[in-house]
Amino acid sequence: MDEHYDALVIGSGEGGKYLAWHLAKAGQRVAVAERRWIGGSCPNTNCLPSKNEIWSAEIAHLARGAGRYGVETGPVAVDMRRVVARKREMVSGLIDMHLNRFAESGAELVMGTARFSAPKAVAVALNAGGARTLTAERIFLNLGTRPMIPDVPGLREAGPLTNIEALELDALPTHLVVLGGGYVGLELAQAYRRFGSAVTIVEHGPRIAGREDPDVAAELARLLGAEGIAIRTGTEILRVSGRSGEAVALTLRDPEGESAVEASHILVAAGRTPNTDGIGLDLAGVALTASGTVQVDDRLRTTAPGIWAIGECAGSPAFTHASLDDFRVIRDTLAGVPRSAAGRQMPACMFTDPPLGRIGLSESEARAGTEPVRVVKLPMAAVLRTRTTGQTSGFMKAVIGPDDRILGFTMLGADAGEVMAAIQVAMLAGLPYTALRDAVLAHPTTAEGLNSLFSAVPAS
């Protein structure tokens, strides 16, 4: 059997699968080696499954508060088995969709664990048994990342949950301790609080959402605290004892001294580590950075000729849409069309309630620069659409440059991700903020708030 291919993709995540489908449809012989998750982590364990269960949690929250809208529902009960079953049904449909796309494209899906045996040769230990050695003219690394377990005495032995296991719980934790106050930790903390668990967030840094502006983090903390979530910032975990899922005890230290927290479950959401170990990249001549990601240039080429890297393993932002754009960079590079991964606008959206959307520079980043900027801020309560729904929490703000162009936008409020997209289009087009200030936007919509926001920009 001929085991030589025009292109071999290791990992079927977002950028890798789209590249495989594209090359196969163009007539190339393409193989994709995938260890477990067909389509990558996004449709199986991360983005879409989490948003599915987060939506169930939001429905529970809305039902409990329905009385203030004049709707009586009676007591609200959450059946975690049905929550998880709904999520699994969605995932099953997504896997079927991916299998159909592979079949339609002509790209061959090889299920197994891949490891380099030579610069352009990859040995695949097949999940069904046996092995194959695949060679290719071009190889694309789409290796992804995995949750990182901090080096805390007793933590690994406690068998903590990661986001993967947290989305498979068919019984509600009595008390969930979330280690990490980033996007994943905050989303799941709020979801489980709304399902009915007691929740404590433990964050080593001085605030949750540490990459956001202080006012954003403070408002998030206020809103989550109002729902009954305990937040411990500036807190170090000294040791853990017990077993997650049964009973665990955490010894913590903050500026006030040591304290203990007892819980039923621990969820680790303290960052991720690249899946670049144990795959034989040294045999291929592929160098790694100090953080363990694949060393690439702005076209995503590695240090080995004919080998590229895609997505988080290449140090790209940890977003599915970043991996998809990595595909575009490589696609165009292969076609001789100049395209770079450097300097691209990268939107971020956190699916808390209210959600957070950010594009471009934050206020902190802009003020740290050398050119003068103007910052304008509008409370969501000033957007009339929120008065109709009661979703008045949060604010939106924009950073304006000296040439009147929008340098950045942050919104913590209902529909943040959708409103952010309108700003991003304006930024891509190089429009001045006045274009949105004076645009005729439909009333009453959340996006209409952009008229008010940009009308308040101070004179330069």
| Average pLDDT value for residue range 2-6 | 89
Q: Is 309 left (phi over 0), alpha (psi -120 to 50) or beta?
A: beta
Tokens for 384? 């009339």
Residue 390: Cβ within 10 Å count: 11
Strand order in the sheet with 374-379: 348-350, 356-360, 406-412, 395-400, 374-379
pLDDT of residue 137: 95
Q: Hey, which residues does 321 pair with through a beta bridge? A: none
Band (pLDDT 50/70/90 cuts) for residue 2 is low
Cross-strand pairs, 123: 115, 133
The annotation status of 67 as a binding-site residue, yes or no, is no
- Tell me the pLDDT tens digit for each residue of 65-102: 999 999 999 999 999 999 999 999 999 999 999 999 99
Strands 131-141 and 307-309: parallel
d(CA 327, CA 177): 37
- Terminal C-alpha separation, the chain: 70
Q: Is 51 annotated as a binding residue?
A: yes
Domains identified in the chain and CATH numbers: 3-146+273-335 (3.50.50.60), 165-270 (3.50.50.60), 354-456 (3.30.390.30)
Please give the pLDDT value at position 1.
53
Burial per residue of 171-182, b for 16 or more beta-carbon CB atoms within 10 angstroms, e otherwise: ebbebbbbbbbb
pLDDT digits (tens, 9 = 90+) for 84-93: 999 999 999 9
- DSSP for 246-312, please give it: TEEEEEEEETTEEEEEEESEEEE-S-EEES-TTS-HHHHT--B-TTSPBP--TT-B-SSTTEEE-GG
- Check the annotation: does 365 bind a ligand: no
User: What is the CA angle 92-94-100, rounded to 5?
Assistant: 105
**Burial grade of 102 (CB within 10 A; 0-12, 13-18, 19 or more):** buried
Our answer to whether residue 443 is catalytic in this structure is: yes
Annotated ligand binding at 256? The verdict is no
Contacting residues for 229 by C-beta, under 8 A, at least 6 apart: 189, 190, 193, 199, 200, 201
Q: pTM for this one?
A: 0.96
Q: Which two tokens stand for residue 236?
A: 């170090």
Q: What is the residue-averaged pLDDT of the chain?
A: 97
- pLDDT higher than threshold 70 for residue 200: yes
Q: Is 185 marked as a binding-site residue?
A: yes
Q: Are strands 406-412 and 395-400 parallel, antiparallel or unpaired?
A: antiparallel
Q: Give the model confidence (pLDDT) of 143-163 as tens digits.
A: 999 999 999 999 999 999 999
pLDDT of residue 117 exceeding 90, the answer is yes
What's the pLDDT band for 459 if we cut at 50, 70, 90? confident
Residues 367-390: what's their mean pLDDT? Answer: 97
pLDDT in tens, 445-456: 999 999 999 999
pLDDT (tens digit per residue) in 236-248: 999 999 999 999 9
Closest CA to 269 of 369, 179, 151, 356: 179
